[in-house]
Amino acid sequence: MIAVNDIKTQLQSWLATALAATGCDGADQAIVLDRPKQAQHGDFASNVALLHASRLKRNPRELAAQLVAALPPLSLVERTEIAGAGFINIFLAPAARQAVVVRILEEGERFGRGLEWSGERVLVEFVSANPTGPLHVGHGRQAALGDALANLLECRGAAVTREFYYNDAGQQIQNLAISVRARAHEILGESAPFPEEGYRGEYIREIAQRYLDQVGHDLTDIESIRAFAVAELRREQDRDLQAFGVRFDNYYLESSLYSDGRVEATVDRLVRSGQTYDEGGALWLRTTGHGDDKDRVMRKADGAYTYFVPDVAYHITKWERGFARAINVQGSDHHSTVVRVRAGLQAANLGIPRGYPDYVLHKMVTVMRGGEEVKISKRAGSYVTLRELIDEAGRDAVRFFLVSRKADTEFVFDIDLARSQSEENPVYYVQYAHARVCSVLKQAGLSRANAANALKDADLTALTSRYEDALLRRLADLPAELALAARDLAPHLVTFYLKALAADFHSYYNAERFLVDDKRVQRARLALAAAAGQSVSNGLAVLGISAPEEM
């Protein structure tokens, strides 16, 4: 059997041998192999001749011809062709292409995994919602992106910690407490002023009622009301995230940065760095020295710290906890904090890299139903909650849809489409491919669980149709697609791949019969179907989405 997991590596070494034979060795350009979009252009294509011809001032097509002539025989390769200005198209031998089926059946859930991030500890911070209300759809996009990203990094070898940072300090939390107290007074038939910046959703009245029922009618202790309200909303957010299938390894409280003295210690460190100054009674940090457009106030004249000070303190803890790589998934409204936080970390003189942490910033989500925008929630009042979206469209559809576009693009969530059972609904289309595989296997007396062992010795040379070739090529791409998505912090690439894989399988299913009289052909086709089902399942697992066996 040909080992397909390193086909590209073997082909790169093969081309390097030809480069050396033609006097082109010693160049610093890496040998790149791309997958052509059209099968007639081969399994792989390389622009190596164009790159070296430019460096050597030679005709690229002539150099490509010399390279092809110098290539030694290789069992992986059926033939090569020179195309265009000097591209080298490589056509694999059928056995090399078919070997991916054996690999998938052997590796099962491990297929697609890699080790390029092996040994690297990565902290992924996401959601991090203020405990002032239910999670909204924007938090949902962040949860889906962050969890998928963490899964991607884990499948490529990283040791990932998922962290939720609770902003449980500051004026917003104080406004929450005052809002709850005002509603409690209303419930008791007493008048009380409602804060101008207060929270007005129905959920505030619910919390106020529970406070009266569980704690009592004494509303003089605002700190007790604050603690109760924050705890109630944290529990609700946790329940919503559990319903969304998202878990966290650690919860970090902003309030602990103050109680543990980390905010004060961070300010002291920045003062000692010589990069602060006093002006107008406030303490400033010279963030302009680190790429900011203006210096930033750290401590206001009234002694209160600005928002970015605890943010810097928090990120110092990430570094000190041993996370050389940290990734923040946040809304695009945090764009201005990126430079400020990084500037503060540089000023702290701790040896933290200039680009620390990495950021994945996402745009907000517009929710549509019946062709009209849905703007408010019955409970939250001013926005659509994540839980309501899950209840309407289902967890799998919500997760798939919210990662199906690049994070920094606007996204319209069409509830009607998400609920439809048609090929226009991408998550249904992908899951249906898996269900079809299971149906075919069931008709053959097999299941996804035992198919791999039952079909491991299938004669794959029977796979000769163009539909089978297309599916084989697509299956072989899963490891590289997951590696690219992890490298670029781009989970949406996985959805693109899954839709393409589902399309290839549906085309195959519609064009060919599986339970044919020729047992050799039947077993080969069943093995290919089982490999396709496993790959769909593995890709969906990265996104945190189920692979149903029946639909």
pLDDT in tens, 518-539: 999 999 999 999 999 999 999 9
**pLDDT mean over 127-147:** 96
Q: Alpha-carbon torsion 387, 391, 393, 398, what sign?
A: positive
pLDDT in tens, 67-77: 999 999 999 99
pTM beyond 0.85: the answer is yes
Kind and range of the H or E run holding 207: helix 202-214
pLDDT of residue 24: 82
Could you give all domains of the chain from N- to C-terminal order, each with its CATH number?
A: 4-92 (3.30.1360.70), 171-243 (no CATH), 365-415 (no CATH), 423-542 (1.10.730.10)
Q: Describe the strand order of the beta sheet including 365-369 as a list of residue ranges.
A: 372-374, 365-369, 411-414
Strands 121-125 vs 325-331: parallel, antiparallel or unpaired: parallel
Give me the chain's average pLDDT, please. 94
**pLDDT mean over 3-31:** 79
The alpha-helical segments, DSSP class H, found in 43-85 are 48-56, 60-70
The alpha-helical segments, DSSP class H, found in 93-170 are 94-107, 137-155
Q: Provide the token pair at 139.
A: 């938090």
pLDDT(23) > 90: no
Cβ atoms of residues 434 and 516 within 8 Å? no
Whether residue 134 is preceded by a cis peptide bond, meaning omega within 30 degrees of 0, is: no
Rounded CA gap, 65 and 532, in Å? 37
Number of residues written out for the chain: 551
Q: Which of 127, 128, 131, 159 is nearest to 146 (CA)?
A: 127
**What crossing angle do the helices spanning 492-511 and 466-476 adopt, rounded to 10°?**
160
pLDDT of residue 208: 98
DSSP assignment string, 531-551 = HHHHHHHHHHHHTT----S--
**pLDDT mean over 174-198:** 94
Strands (E), 93-225: 121-125, 159-166
DSSP assignment string, 380-427 = TSSS-BHHHHHHHH-HHHHHHHHTSS-TTS-EEEEHHHHH--STTSHH
pLDDT of residue 477: 95
For 242-295, the three-class secondary structure string (H helix, E strand, C coil) is: HHCCCCCCEEEEHHHHHHCCHHHHHHHHHHHCCCEEEECCEEEECHHHHCCCCC
**pLDDT mean over 270-274:** 96
Q: Per-residue confidence at 434, pLDDT binned at 50, 70, 90?
A: very high
pLDDT in tens, 77-122: 999 999 999 999 999 999 999 999 999 999 999 999 999 999 899 9
Kind and range of the H or E run holding 10: helix 7-21
pLDDT of residue 88: 97
- CB neighbour class for 171 (10 Å; exposed up to 12, middle 13-18, buried from 19): exposed
pLDDT(277) > 70: yes
Which stretch of 24-28, 42-46, 287-291 has the lowest confidence by average pLDDT? 24-28
Rounded CA gap, 427 and 396, in Å? 8
Percentage of the chain surpassing pLDDT 90? Answer: 88
pLDDT of residue 443: 97
- Collapsing DSSP states into helix, strand and coil, what is residue 233? helix
Q: b/e map of 373-387 (b: 16 or more CB within 10 Å)?
A: ebeebebbeebbbbb
**pLDDT mean over 166-178:** 92
pLDDT(28) > 70: no
pLDDT in tens, 323-363: 999 999 999 988 888 999 999 999 999 999 999 999 999 99
pLDDT(423) > 80: yes
pLDDT(209) > 80: yes
**What crossing angle do the helices spanning 222-243 and 202-214 adopt, rounded to 10°?**
120
Q: Which residue pairs, CB below 8 angstroms and at least 24 apart, start in 417-421? A: 418/393, 418/394, 419/392, 419/393, 419/394, 421/551
Which stretch of 26-30, 118-122, 312-316, 457-461 has the lowest confidence by average pLDDT? 26-30
Q: Alpha-carbon torsion 534, 536, 540, 545, what sign?
A: negative
Chain-centre distance for alpha carbon 279 = 43
Q: Per-residue confidence at 29, pLDDT binned at 50, 70, 90?
A: low
